[in-house]
């Protein structure tokens, strides 16, 4: 019994680390899958009509639009998103540099390209000639009619126009490297049409150095990668890291430093903490002072508490509130617990609320496949061990019970001696076989010899007082 118990305990202890590790990995995957559908690609696009006079009269053209992409995420399931102010700034405030870029494109389209075409040249073959043509055009006289728009792309391919409901300008520096007075928290609150959307909650406490986090976003290097399918733009990427510092920006606002990788396009992306809530929002990265390329490992987040302050006075009073969340979380929980039939039903319900989100479709397909093709069940070692323990315990119990029944009236020799010394006169019967009585040297004084055969035939002829103790011994 002790051996079986020791074996069972050893097996349990041996399996504990592996099970704990599996639970840890599953919990990270589950938290990220809960969060990912709330991410969205935000695009600030400025189209324009430009009237340009190249010297032969005005010409109206539509230059290639200016476009900026970043990451947004639903903070409220009714249709509110958070992103960086600098992501939507080109379309929201239409800064002068955007108009300047559009005018340059208009001059190239209306003046440079036709002039080169008349000489049988292509762009880039005669840079000096191109510059001459551009200098002859008065950019101040160009009439520009901009058409700005902010859109949100969900992971199911749906493009939604968005309205900027609240705007805190990005941190800006002047030519001397000093912050301009208009600098703010670099946050924007967007609103899309009413619906049921997944949403992320804000963390309550502050982070500490070393805390793990995961940044969701749509890096431009993935969106424009020539070897990837266009569907790569639909699904948020995840980069992992930890809190590596607690700093302040140039105007004294708190920022969180992290070594989680980021690139252009990740701006506005949520950083998910170990509880699955947003601990920060990516705001800026670090650039090399020589080439301008991103230096990884030194990226910065706006703390969640500052996002909460930014939301004051808006219609977002319950960050993270969404009817989608509870159904989606319950489906994922069943999926990771291998309750596939229940998981398929709950994930299908989430899919009805907002159809065909990438992660939801993938999870639903997995659950339905497992329902139709259930994995083989592992050998039930725990139940076998328990059954062996029960059977062994029952066997030992039966032996003990039998022994107890046989010995429940047995009295030891020492007890007989103590009774005689105490004045109790027990009737002692020698019930050994006749041959044993004659051959054995063991004789008990005062014992009355009676053979088992005589007892069986009722020939003992012994009168016994019911109040007198009777002791019988045999070989």
73-85 pLDDT, tens per residue?
Answer: 999 999 999 999 9
Who has greater pLDDT, 12 or 64? 64
Does 419 fall in a domain? yes
285 and 422 belong to one structural domain: no
Local confidence band at 334 (pLDDT 50, 70, 90 cut-offs) = very high
Segment among 23-27, 356-360, 369-373, 415-419 with least mean pLDDT: 23-27
195 and 139 belong to one structural domain: yes
Local confidence band at 25 (pLDDT 50, 70, 90 cut-offs) = very low
218 and 347 belong to one structural domain: no
Determine the pLDDT at residue 469.
Answer: 73
273 and 363 belong to one structural domain: no
Determine the pLDDT at residue 259.
Answer: 93
Who has greater pLDDT, 281 or 430? 281
100 and 201 belong to one structural domain: yes
Does 247 fall in a domain? yes
Determine the pLDDT at residue 217.
Answer: 93
Determine the pLDDT at residue 14.
Answer: 39
Query: Average pLDDT of 94-110?
Result: 92
Does 405 fall in a domain? no
Does 226 fall in a domain? yes
Does 19 fall in a domain? no
Who has greater pLDDT, 362 or 20? 362
Segment among 141-150, 172-181, 255-264 with least mean pLDDT: 172-181
Local confidence band at 61 (pLDDT 50, 70, 90 cut-offs) = very high
Alpha-carbon span 442 to 432, nearest angstrom: 11
Helix and strand element counts for the chain (H, E): 14, 16
Who has greater pLDDT, 408 or 307? 307
366 and 429 belong to one structural domain: no
pTM to 2 decimal places? 0.73
| Per-residue pLDDT reduced to its tens digit, 168-205 | 999 888 877 788 888 899 999 999 999 999 999 999 98
Determine the pLDDT at residue 348.
Answer: 96
Q: Answer for the pair 300, 258: CB distance below 8 angstroms, yes or no.
A: yes
Per DSSP bridges, beta strands 427-430 and 270-272 are: unpaired
173 and 112 belong to one structural domain: yes
Which domain, by its residues, includes 358? Answer: 323-372
- Please check the confidence at residue 10 and state whether its pLDDT lies above 70: no
SS (H, E, C) 156-179: CCCEEEEEEEEEECCCCECCCCCE
Percent over 90 (pLDDT), the chain: 52
Does 2 fall in a domain? no
Determine the pLDDT at residue 277.
Answer: 94
Query: Average pLDDT of 230-250?
Result: 88
- Please check the confidence at residue 406 and state whether its pLDDT lies above 90: no
- Please check the confidence at residue 13 and state whether its pLDDT lies above 60: no
- Please check the confidence at residue 459 and state whether its pLDDT lies above 90: no
Segment among 20-34, 42-56, 222-236, 239-253 with least mean pLDDT: 20-34
**Which one, of 193, 168, 196, lies nearest residue 182 by Cα?**
168
DSSP states along 374-439: PPPPPP-HHHHHHHHHHHHHHHHHHHHHHHHHHHTT---HHHHHHHHHTT---EEEE-S-HHHHHH
Q: What is the mean pLDDT of the chain?
A: 85
57 and 174 belong to one structural domain: yes
193 and 284 belong to one structural domain: yes
Determine the pLDDT at residue 12.
Answer: 40
- How many structural domains does the chain have? 3
327 and 452 belong to one structural domain: no
Does 395 fall in a domain? no
367 and 224 belong to one structural domain: no
| Per-residue pLDDT reduced to its tens digit, 115-142 | 889 888 888 888 888 898 888 888 888 8
- Please check the confidence at residue 363 and state whether its pLDDT lies above 90: yes
Does 85 fall in a domain? yes
- Please check the confidence at residue 24 and state whether its pLDDT lies above 50: no
Q: How far is CA 382 from the centre of its chain?
A: 29
Q: Answer for the pair 236, 198: CB distance below 8 angstroms, yes or no.
A: no
């Amino acid at each position: 019994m002790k051996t079986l118990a020791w074996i069972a305990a050893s097996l349990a202890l041996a399996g504990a680390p592996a099970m704990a590790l599996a639970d840890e990995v599953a919990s990270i995957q589950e938290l990220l899958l809960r969060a990912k559908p709330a991410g969205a690609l935000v695009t600030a696009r400025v189209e324009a009509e430009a009237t340009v006079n190249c010297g032969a009269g005005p010409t109206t053209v539509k230059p290639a639009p200016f476009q900026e992409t970043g990451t947004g995420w639903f903070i409220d399931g009714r249709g509110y998103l958070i992103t960086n102010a600098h992501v939507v700034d080109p379309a929201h405030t239409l800064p002068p540099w955007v108009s300047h870029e559009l005018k340059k494109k208009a001059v190239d389209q209306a003046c440079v390209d036709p002039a080169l075409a008349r000489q049988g040249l292509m762009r880039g073959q005669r840079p000096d000639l191109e510059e001459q043509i551009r200098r002859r055009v008065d950019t101040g006289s160009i009439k520009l009619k901009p058409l700005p728009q902010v859109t949100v792309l969900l992971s199911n391919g749906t493009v939604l126009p968005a309205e900027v409901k609240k705007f805190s300008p990005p941190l800006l520096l002047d030519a001397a490297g000093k912050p301009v007075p208009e600098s703010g928290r670099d946050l924007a609150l967007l609103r899309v049409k009413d619906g049921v959307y997944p949403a992320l909650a804000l963390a309550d406490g502050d982070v500490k150095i070393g805390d793990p986090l995961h940044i969701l976003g749509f890096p431009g290097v993935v969106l424009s990668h020539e070897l990837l399918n266009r569907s790569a733009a639909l699904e948020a990427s995840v980069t992992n890291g930890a809190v590596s510092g607690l700093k302040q920006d140039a105007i004294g606002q708190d920022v969180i430093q992290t070594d989680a990788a980021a690139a252009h396009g990740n701006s506005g992306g949520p950083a998910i903490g170990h509880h699955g809530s947003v601990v920060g929002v990516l705001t800026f990265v670090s650039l090399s002072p020589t080439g301008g390329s991103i230096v990884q490992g030194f990226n910065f987040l706006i703390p969640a508490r500052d996002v909460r302050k930014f939301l004051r006075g808006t219609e977002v009073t319950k960050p993270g509130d969404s009817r989608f969340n509870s159904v989606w979380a319950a489906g994922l929980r069943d999926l990771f617990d291998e309750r596939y039939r229940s998981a398929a039903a709950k994930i299908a319900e989430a899919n009805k609320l907002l159809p065909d989100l990438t992660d939801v479709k993938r999870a639903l397909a997995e659950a339905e496949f497992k329902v139709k093709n259930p994995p083989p069940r592992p050998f039930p070692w725990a139940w076998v061990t328990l059954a062996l323990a029960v059977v062994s315990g029952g066997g030992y119990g039966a032996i003990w019970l039998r022994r107890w029944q046989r010995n429940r009236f047995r009295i030891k020799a020492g007890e007989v001696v103590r009774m005689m010394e105490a004045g109790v006169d027990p009737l002692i019967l020698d019930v050994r076989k006749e041959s044993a009585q004659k051959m054995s040297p063991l004789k008990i004084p005062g014992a009355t010899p009676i053979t088992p055969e005589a007892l069986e035939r009722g020939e003992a002829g012994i009168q016994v007082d019911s109040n007198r103790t009777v002791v019988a011994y045999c070989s």
